[in-house]
Amino acid sequence: MVLTVNGERRETAVTQIAALLTELEFTGTQVAIAINRSVVPRARWAEVELNDGDAIEIISPRQGG
């Protein structure tokens, strides 16, 4: 399946958000996820299926001033 992750095209076999985060090595970090511009609550990450062509935005908080 082909996804667009943070603006970059990526081929993957994963079908769930949690698996994608593991594949991209985002485990243990605080992130927010949007699929096709709709924010997905963390409580739903295990049940939401990714589909070919989805646009995924992974946003992590940054600290600075």
* Residue 6 belongs to some domain of the structure: yes
* Residue 38 belongs to some domain of the structure: yes
Confidence label for 63 from pLDDT (cuts 50, 70 and 90): low
pLDDT of residue 23: 93
* Residue 65 belongs to some domain of the structure: no
* Residue 22 belongs to some domain of the structure: yes
Residue 44: which domain range? 2-56
Give the Cα separation of 58 and 20 in Å (integer): 10
pLDDT, tens digit, 9 for 90 and up, residues 4-43: 999 999 999 999 998 999 999 887 678 999 999 999 999 9
* Residue 64 belongs to some domain of the structure: no
* Residue 62 belongs to some domain of the structure: no
* Residue 18 belongs to some domain of the structure: yes
Residue 42 belongs to domain with CATH number: 3.10.20.30
Looking at the structure of the chain, the number of domains it has is 1
Of 65, 64, 61, which is closest to residue 30 (Cα–Cα)? 61
pTM: 0.84
Long-range contacts of 21-24 (CB under 8 A, 24+ apart): 21/58, 24/58
